Chains A and B, each alone.
Chain A
Amino acid sequence: MLQFFAQHSKLIDEIGINALLALSLSISLRAGSLALAQAAFMGLAAYVGSIGAVRFGWNLLEATLAGAFAAAVVAAILALPIGRLRGVFLAIATIGFGEIARIAEINAPITGGAEGFSNIPNDAGTVAIYAALVATGLALALFGRSKAALALAATREDESAARGVGIDVAAVRLRTLVAGAIVAGVAGVLYAHANFFITPGDFGFPRMEQILVSCVIGGVTSSLGAVLGATLMTVLPEAVRFLHDYREVSTGAILLGFILFAPGGIAGLWERRA
């Protein structure tokens, strides 16, 4: 057992971080907004937390708080121009924002550019990652029964009818974007401190795609589904290494399979049985 953990600790950490990222996207999806800026928030926080740790000697907690705060502020600002966008238009605008962030990270004087930023203290272990995951999961579970969660679900179902019962739809969307950015930011700092080396490419569109696919496979509005989806999406590429160049195909095949045969994702399969 211990040996298993020792051998796969890297993978286990990766699962935890990807699960956090999937949870962060699921917050926006609960309100029905396809805001795909999670990878950008992750990267932003990763750079803030890493530069702070290297330059100013922040510990992991300080780096995490600063990174999450920076992601939250940027999310609140981003909410202004994208506030009226919905569906694929919102998706495209937020993916565009992700590209802007990535290119800024390549060109900014303090990020180390495309060659990456290294010497990040390697102080984010499995315990820290899973503590963050459990805390986020618990917070979402408690939130799930609240009136605020109902306001999110109503906004997702019918925005005009939601306004008709007094829900401030713009505020709901702003809050979900900021809350998602905070969780993604925490994941980003943990990622940087678990890998002690980051490049802008770590936070590009492929990362965002992986997060989205995790949520779709898991079931877009379920916390447990998001975690399971992220686990599958992290383990799968390792499990199909024997496919060599065709590895990427397995991700697409699984995604297609879920969309066709289980559109509710893993959580949907489960609910169907109950």
Chain B
Amino acid sequence: MTAGGDLSVEHLSVRYGGVAALDDVSLRVPRGGVLGLIGPNGAGKTSLINAVTGVIRPYAGSIALGALRLERLPQHRVARAGVVRTYQNIRLFAALSVADNVRAGALRQPGDLDEAAVRALLERAGVPDADLRGRAGALPYGAQRRLEIARALAGKPAVVLLDEPAAGMNPRETGELRAVIRSLAASGAGVVLVEHDMGLVSAVCDRVVVLNFGRVIAEGTPAQVARDPEVIEAYLGSPADNVNGSSAVDSTASAAEKSNESASANSNGSSEA
């Protein structure tokens, strides 16, 4: 059963062998809130989603949905508690029909979805005209991403974690996704949005957490983190002479040019901002 409540992550650490993928990360997603999670590739965003959804066991820290502790639960129990996700690399039940994929999302609920309910969910996720009996794997890429969202919505989730939902979408599709995310939050679910499309992040997120090398380096409204010098440095590398102050934003162009020399220290690509 869906427990409901806020998602809170406290002092979460995840390690792969000796490598710390996440180090002392804390964040909170209230019901109806949209939290953006950004950071360069390898920052630990997907590791955080994996830890919250029970795919990997955290090394330390706690994860809770309301009063229910999640960090020791197996993956399927986390899903049954109402914490669901989409995947960076789409993971539909490809050989099953579109309708069965949506129905599968509601398996943990009592009863079964009828055709009208499936249709309504697909409409909400932005794929209103998909052939219900067609193979899910035969859908176009963008429609597959949105079918995954429909599957996540089908179980009336308390928290939805979206792992780069706009990847590979065109601007019109991304605009539709914006409406989907807003309606999801409006229905009372907490949303975690991992995304590189900063336009989408600024448009839908109340708060943004920035990860780099597994640590939170900034947190605030989208506008606040966009001005944060440490964030700019994480994405673009540090300017050789001027790290602090308001000029950091204005100097992003020159910082990008100068990032070559700091790239070796940072080891992250500078092309993602």
Chain A contacts to B: CB under 8 angstroms: 147, 150-151, 153-154, 157-158, 160-169
Contacts and interface: CB of A to CB of B under 8 A. Distances in A.
Contact of B87 (A147, A161, A167): A161
Contacts of B79: 163-166
Main secondary structure of the interface of A (DSSP, over half): helix
B107 A161 contact: no
Contacts of A165: 79, 84, 104-105, 107-108, 151, 155
A233 to B, nearest CB: 26
Report, as a range, how many residues of chain B touch the other chain.
20 to 34
B95 interface: yes
A153 B55 CA distance: 20
Contacts of A164: 53, 75-76, 79, 84-85, 91
Contacts, number: 69
Interface in B51-78: 53-55, 74-77
A157 B85 contact: no
Contacts of B112: 147
Contacts of B75: 160, 163-164
B120 interface: no
Nearest to B87: A161
Interface in B68-102: 74-77, 79-80, 84-85, 87, 91-96, 100
Given A150-B100, A153-B96, A160-B55, A166 B91 contact: no
B136 to A, nearest CB: 9
Given A150-B100, A153-B100, A161-B87, A166 B107 contact: yes
A157 B95 contact: yes
B103 interface: yes
A161 B91 contact: yes
Given A147-B112, A163-B79, A166-B77, 19 more contacts: A150-B103, A154-B96, A154-B104, A154-B107, A157-B95, A160-B55, A160-B91, A162-B76, A163-B54, A163-B55, A163-B74, A164-B53, A164-B91, A165-B84, A165-B104, A165-B105, A165-B108, A166-B107, A168-B74
Given A150-B103, A164-B85, A165-B107, A157 B55 contact: no
Q: A147, A158, A166 — which one has the most chain B CB atoms within 10 A of its CB?
A: A166
